[in-house]
Amino acid sequence: MWQAETGRTITVLQKAAAGKRKQITAFQPPSWSSLPGISQPVDVNVAYFGYEGAADAVNGQTPDQAFADVEALMRFAETDETVTAKEAANLRDIPSQGKDSTVLWTLQNGETARRTGVSDSGWSRLIYQDRVCYAVTNLLTTDLSFSVAEPKVIPEPEGDGIKTVFTDCSELMTAKIETNLRALPGVTNPEAVVVATIRYGDVVARTGVNPEVGWSRVEYAGQVLYCVSSYLTPAPAQE
């Protein structure tokens, strides 16, 4: 039981509640109550811990369900525009590629969604089939006529058959938060499996980048892997 009282000091309330300890677990005095040693009015809730009991519901209504804010600590700039996938983009229930996220749909090139926000961490908030979902910004475009050029096979001495043109580079990068490293540059190809997941502080050597489709080629743990470019940031200086 929670009891709110007005017109009496906290000291008086404590005495009054002492005889009701079996019925009262907490009481709330008025905001202008006084407390010895504090010159200004105070607003304090007094609770009795160790109470063993269950209060009956006031009514039969189902309580509201609380949900975590999936955008907590992320800054989204509000927008209102139509986008499509450059090639294919997974639409997730939360802005993360971690194990706690679920792929709801895969947006294909030519299919559209309404974008309502863009974060500085590389995610877009979308409305698709009347549901809020999230996709990697680099995989989307507002150019609804966008089409991927016919891929060219990169001549590789090992003949790995990767059909994405990468511009060579050499730089040390790390993940902004958490980044999946895949066997192939894509998310829909069954062979583009996640080989490793890096977090901020894990360093990879980026050897190639394709700004058109938003993928990077990296070397990690002795393997050549691929990841979304917008998930990477320059690694801190190595001592």
Domain ranges of the chain: 2-47, 76-141, 167-234
**pLDDT score recorded for residue 11:** 46
Pairing outcome for strands 38-42 and 112-119 = unpaired
Question: How many C-beta atoms lie closer than 10 Å to residue 90's C-beta?
Answer: 20
Whole-model pTM over 0.95 = no
Structure tokens at 60: 């039969």
- The DSSP H or E segment spanning 107 is strand 103-108
The CATH code of the domain at 76-141 is: 2.30.30.40
Given a cut of 90, is residue 58 above it in pLDDT?
A: no
Q: 167-234, what's its fold? A: SH3 type barrels. (2.30.30)
Pairing outcome for strands 223-228 and 215-220 = antiparallel
CATH topology of 76-141 equal to that of 167-234?
yes
Question: How many C-beta atoms lie closer than 10 Å to residue 220's C-beta?
Answer: 17
Q: CA-to-CA distance for 231 and 217, rounded, in angstroms? A: 13
pLDDT tens profile 136-171: 998 999 999 988 665 444 444 344 456 788 999 999
Q: Looking at residues 76-100, what average pLDDT do you find?
A: 93
Given a cut of 60, is residue 20 above it in pLDDT?
A: no
Q: CA-to-CA distance for 149 and 91, rounded, in angstroms? A: 23
Question: How many C-beta atoms lie closer than 10 Å to residue 179's C-beta?
Answer: 27
Q: Which residues contact 188 (CB under 8 A, 6 or more apart)?
A: 88, 106
